Structure 1
Amino acid sequence: MKSYRLDPGHGLAGLTLHEQDEPEPGRRQVVVRVRASSIGFRDLMVLANTYVLPISPGVVPGCEGVGEVVAVGEGVGRVRVGDRVAATVFPRWLDGPFLPGNAVQLGTMVDGMLTEYALLDEDGVVPVPEHLSDEEAAAFPLAAVTAWNALTSGNPLRPGATVLTLGSGAVSLFVLRFAKLAGARVIVTTSGPAKAGRLRELGADEVIDYRETPAWDEAVRALTGGDGVDRVVDATGPLERSLKSVAMNGEVAFVGHWLSGDEGARAVDPSTLFMAGAALHRIATGSRAHFLELNRAVELHRVRPVIDRVFPFEELPDAFAHCASGEGFGKIIISHA
């Protein structure tokens, strides 16, 4: 079989394709013939070795992938040969709060999904909704689970609530879809009229171009009669402006914005945090339980992802180059077929 392997810190030059024997499952392990995977800006940080988690030299990158179970080890009871499954990003995080023991992540500390066959724990896979193709299903494990966790952590999101999501990346696109399904009014920030038009087509109630309106928190306040929004999903920052956009007793789901190299943009004045009067939740993707809850909603509402482009497995470097351009809109999919 073929697998990509990574020498972290060397960018695309550190990404090489290797041939090796197909894996054999051990106790409570499964072998998945990967049919599709997905990449995003998180994977660019892994290539550059600037990601928040440690990266094992020679690791198979990629934390998002789906495929067919082709072999099972002793003691496996959750899945059978022939099942279509998606890998969970954190295979040890089954439920409950995110703890240090849950932090082992595919594609950084252990081998991920940019391979033809993946060896996974049976607890680290979930069923794929039947209406989704393999390419569509590969868009969900990271961005969609993150969006779901961001909207369901803390107080319930009630119909009529107002949600602000930052940027038009994959997480925000899923936040937009799920929040609209919950009956929320959704405000989105983005860059440029082309992306703004697409966001409106997808159901955004209001779109703010942060290039034209750098003080977008003031625009959010104006759109909410001065009250602020009930929930902010902050995947890009600056966190300071998110805190200035949220309503008293509202919530900020902090996905993290270490993509910003501006240290000043990361700083938060303690008085801003105090005056916001809001709860701040750290969002680290989500657990297996989050993924299963998400899948029930996806099946019920026949949710499909926004896909930007599909690249063949052999053209992974081109897919990374396209991702780095920032020109896409939606998930970048890798077809392993």
Structure 2
Amino acid sequence: MTQLNSFSVPDFHLPFGNSKHPLAARANADATSWAVRHELVTDAVEQFAGIGFGHLAGRVSGEVPYETVALLAEWMAWSFVLDDQHDHLIRTGELEAWRPVVGAITEHLETGGTPEAPGTPDTQGARRARQTQGARAAQGAGARRNPLVSGFVDVCDRILAGMSEGTAARYRAHVPLMLHSLDQEAGNRGTVGRPSVDEYILMRRHSSQMLPMMDMVEAGLGIDLPQRIHDLPEFKALIASAVDVISWGNDVFSLPKEYSCGDNNNLVSLIASWEGCSLADGVRAVENRIQARIEDFLTGERLLFETLDARGETDGAIRADVARCVRSYEDWIIGADLWQRYECTRYSDERFAAGLESAYTRPDLVWVA
């Protein structure tokens, strides 16, 4: 593989229009304040706000009340912290500290409760925390009081309150899969753990963190499709094609960072590595795959409605909601691309591109009492 000396993101020729909620900038500011209030971020707040999660939320939410956009922006803010803090623990070899956090989040999803975590392991992170907070605080720090967990509980409860039973069930199923995919990403670091391209594609559908957010948007739009529609192979294929386009595009945007720090969790890097080609050729290969998946999406839309016809699904309300879902996926595809190109500083930040941790990452976050 050649070095990444010069790099530009190609135009993926996405054939969809997009409009942004007029209060997206406000949602970004409010979600940033929410993250600071929950102590998810305490330093480099301006850099954190530059991610532009409120702008992304505004591009994918459609015409909904401001509160719906703001809630999605808060979830997105939380998910970026989650991703970066998990990356920090991978870098420092402290992944055991992650188990109580995941356990508390999963427990809350299943029961609504957030039990105390077991005693914190005696890792380098724990030792740093004891030096700054005292031995008692570090040893007694429960996941319930951890900002990642308390932030999740706050936003999750409000998300579920606005969901139908069916949508809530899908959301509850998607979040643990998302968390598990982070562990898979950790296992993929280094030459030994390098996944195949096909293995990575399946994992990426969850590590993209898209599916819980799609559930949120569906609920915000008032869409409540019966599970039998979600279970249709054609419906599942349509979602998969949309998530693939978004995820693979993001891999191109984030390539400088992931290549710089030797992270295998990137489709461009994997193709270049397995096929023995240059990164430039890898980018072109991903671009071609994205165009093919766009065609899959467009074909999938037609096949989905043909399937509804064949199954006798003539209910006008259901068919209208299917059409609104399809339109929402189009918003996600084009909205994510526009956000990364024009409204997000994350992928152009010199620190990020050099493969370094974000300046707002908190080394002590898991250990806060």
Structures share a fold, TM > 0.5?
no
More helix by percentage: 2
Higher strand share: 1
Structure with higher RCO (Cα < 8 A, 6+ apart): 2
TM-score (norm 1): 0.29
